[in-house]
Structure 1
Amino acid sequence: MQRVCFLLKVREDRAAEYRERHAEVWPEMLQALTASGWHNYSLFLREDGLLVGYLETEDFEAAREAMGRTGVNARWQSGMAPFFEPPEGRAGGTGPAPDEAMVPLTEIFHLA
């Protein structure tokens, strides 16, 4: 099982609404995540907008590709895109969808 952690940046002025949206994730989005192999998925949001995501999956790239093939993911990502700051190195404009900007961090320690 792969453990995947990633960082994204939510616009500080949109953090409250971002939290509200995640308090009521669409049931079909939850079903798609589970069916695509996303397990033990958590998001943590710091007050300044730093978002830390964590999930477990057999194969992260396969799980991400499976989500990419769902219509619900396209709708969700489109709705979430305005909440995020552009990835570092991109000045304004539209960047990748939030799920495309998820770059896993390198795990350096795990206590089993």
Structure 2
Amino acid sequence: MHRVCFQLQVKPDRIEEYKRRHRAVWPDMVRALHETGWHNYSLFLRPDGLLIGYLETPSLEQAQAGMAATEVNARWQAEMGELFEELDGVPPDEGFLVLEEVFHLEDQLAALDD
């Protein structure tokens, strides 16, 4: 399972709307995420709109492709895209910046036991 962390920037004047929409994510969207490999998925939002996402997945590319093939994702991305800065028409689930993982406690502990 791969751990993926990513960032996006929510427009400051749209932060409350972003939070409101995520308090009531469509049930078919939630199911589609799970079924296409988005596991242990969380979003964290800083007061200035910096959004950090985390998920675990066998393959980010396959998880993204799986969602791209769903009708519900097309609707969700179309509605959410306007809330982000600097995407230039790219859907948010394809336009995020993946961050490099530089430390993971369990990996370090496992290395001590070898």
| Shorter-chain TM-score above 0.5 | yes
How far apart, in 2, do the equivalents of 1:106 and 1:36 lie? Answer: 23
Q: Which amino acid aligns with 1:54?
A: Y
- 1:111 equivalent in structure 2: 105
Greater C-alpha Rg? 2
- 1:78 equivalent in structure 2: 78
Gaps of 5+ in 2: 107-114
Find the residue that maps to 2:99 and give its secondary structure.
coil
- 1:12 equivalent in structure 2: 12
How far apart, in 1, do the equivalents of 2:79 and 2:93 lie? Answer: 12
Instruction: Please state if 1:100 is matched with 2:94.
Output: yes
Larger fraction in helix? 2
Q: Deviations over 1:52-103 (max 9, x none)?
A: 000000111011110000000000000001100014xxxxxx3311111123
Gaps of 5+ in 1: 88-93
Task: Quote how far apart the aligned CAs of 1:15 are.
Answer: 0.1
- The sequence identity of aligned pairs, in percent, is 57
Number of residue pairs aligned between Structure 1 and Structure 2 = 106
How far apart, in 2, do the equivalents of 1:104 and 1:45 lie? Answer: 16
How far apart, in 2, do the equivalents of 1:57 and 1:101 lie? Answer: 18
- 1:90 equivalent in structure 2: none
Moved over 4 A (4+): none
